[in-house]
Structure 1
Amino acid sequence: MSMRDEILRVATELYTLRGYRGVSFNDIAEVLGITTTSIHYHFKNKVGLAKQALDEYAAGVEHEIRAIWTDQNTTLARKMQASLDFNRRSYFRFNRQGEEGRVWSLLSRFANELDAFPPEFRARIGAFRAEVQACARHGLEIATARGEYRAEVLRTDMSRMLAQSFLYAGYIARDGGNFEAVERNYRLVMDLLKRSYGTG
């Protein structure tokens, strides 16, 4: 990795764990064994670094979600399972020592601190959420075309529910105390979808 990428990697992890206000350039420099001058050289200021971290993190997650939900060859149930697995990997990356309920998403962390950022942060997070919902809608369209669900499902808010299972998994885990709460929510959404609109 280049030094710029290393700075971004460490900043993203620290921001996710501590929030924007809880991380300084000194904290990042200490982890990497560099001076803060190097961070300023690559990112100028703290807002610039946070914006780049958010942009790259959001783009990476969007890429993963798009690949899951636009796959023409998997059932909706498999798409939901793949989304759940993605959340599980992220969760245990930041909760591996048993610290149940830690935030594991930079997007969720920054969404809770929007008052600290300029307006483009809100816009980027909003665009991310819209992209996840569009992907869920696309996945539902594929499932309907495959005959898994009746066509009227596309005239409901089910794609929003599917997207929210992914987008708000962090809050569900925090409020439920562990990742099992996320798994239960996924099962409930899929059960509701199947009972209401399933063809089998």
Structure 2
Amino acid sequence: MPPRTSLNATQAPLEERILAVATDLFIRYGYKGVSFLAIASLLGISHSHIHYYFRTKSRLAEAVLDAYVAQTKADFLAIWAEDGCSLFDRFVRSRDWIWRQYIRFNPGGSGGHNWGLLAGFVADGELLTPSMRKTIRTTLEDMDRYIDAGIGRAIGDGELSTATPRHALVLQISSLLHTSRHIIRFEGSFQRLDDLFQWTYEVIRAAYSTAPPPAAVWPALTAEAAPS
């Protein structure tokens, strides 16, 4: 089991602490591997407290998923849809977002431990409620729209040619994001995914760029942990 959560009664209300611990456990062990008893044990409370707030495991999982996707969509909307950001920067910021999630569950930057909630829930899809499946589906659709906005801005700013196959690039980039968990687990480290991010950007730039290469070089990963 993971160490006890750093959230305690003096830092956050019990409902928030339950959600924090449940999120951590769902990421680590998937939907199947989490129980009210495990959450209660880590918090040092009775599992009846969890029943009071969420009644059932599916309701708790829905609350966890809703909060997780809200933050994830806000992060990627900022990365891919904001003005004044080059395609190079969008790739680096996407890589760094995944890296921060990964290193939280794989300290030192190597290992194949689960780090993302969506992929784990998708793997247990037959156990999810219809509402959860819909949330995941619409989240992936929203992510595609954000990436499309970023590609559109790159074309509009003259960074990419107007002949760029916009839909194809969205498909390529979103596939890289959605399969990142499997790429990392296959390799047992983050380096393979980092290489794929860099290679994908460089191929797109070489094929469709109308601007000079960026002055910046692909930045190395840092050892900083993800913010809590």
TM range (shorter): over 0.9
Q: Where does residue 182 of structure 1 map in the other structure?
A: 193
1:184 and 1:97, CA in 2 relative to 1: closer, same or farther beyond 3 A? closer
Structure 1 residue matching 2:189: 3-state secondary structure: coil
Deviation at 1:165, TM superposition (A): 2.1
Deviation at 1:151, TM superposition (A): 1.2
Deviation at 1:60, TM superposition (A): 0.7
Unmatched segments (≥5 aa) in structure 1:
none
With structure 1 as the length reference, what TM-score do the two structures score? 0.95
Unmatched segments (≥5 aa) in structure 2:
1-11, 212-228
Q: Where does residue 91 of structure 1 map in the other structure?
A: 102
1:30-49 equivalences in 2 (<5 Å): 30-49=41-60
- Overall identity of the aligned pairs, in %: 29
Q: Where does residue 199 of structure 1 map in the other structure?
A: 210
Q: Distance in 2 between matches of 1:155 and 1:88?
A: 26
Q: Which moved more, 1:168-177 or 1:55-64?
A: 168-177
Q: Where does residue 35 of structure 2 map in the other structure?
A: 24
1:123-175 Cα deviation digits (max 9, x unpaired): 11111111111100000111111111001224441012122222221111112
1:128-167 equivalences in 2 (<5 Å): 128-167=139-178
Conserved in 1, the CA contact under 8 Å of 2:114 and 2:181? yes
- Runs (4 or more) in structure 1 with deviation over 4 Å come to none
Higher percent of residues as helix: 1
1:158-197 Cα deviation digits (max 9, x unpaired): 0121222222211111122210011011112112211211
Q: Distance in 1 between matches of 2:19 and 2:158?
A: 44
Residues 1:8 and 2:8 aligned together? no
Letter in structure 1 aligned against 2:79 = I
Structure 2 residue matching 1:21: 3-state secondary structure: coil
Letter in structure 2 aligned against 1:94 = F
Conserved in 1, the CA contact under 8 Å of 2:110 and 2:188? no
Q: Distance in 2 between matches of 1:155 and 1:39?
A: 46
Q: Distance in 2 between matches of 1:37 and 1:173?
A: 38
Q: Distance in 1 between matches of 2:70 and 2:60?
A: 15
Structure 1 residue matching 2:111: 3-state secondary structure: coil
Count of residue pairs brought into register by the alignment: 200
Conserved in 1, the CA contact under 8 Å of 2:28 and 2:115? yes
Q: Where does residue 70 of structure 1 map in the other structure?
A: 81
1:167-178 equivalences in 2 (<5 Å): 167-178=178-189
Structure 2 residue matching 1:153: 3-state secondary structure: coil
1:135 and 1:184, CA in 2 relative to 1: closer, same or farther beyond 3 A? same
1:97 and 1:32, CA in 2 relative to 1: closer, same or farther beyond 3 A? farther
Corresponding residue to 1:113 among 124, 135, 155: 124
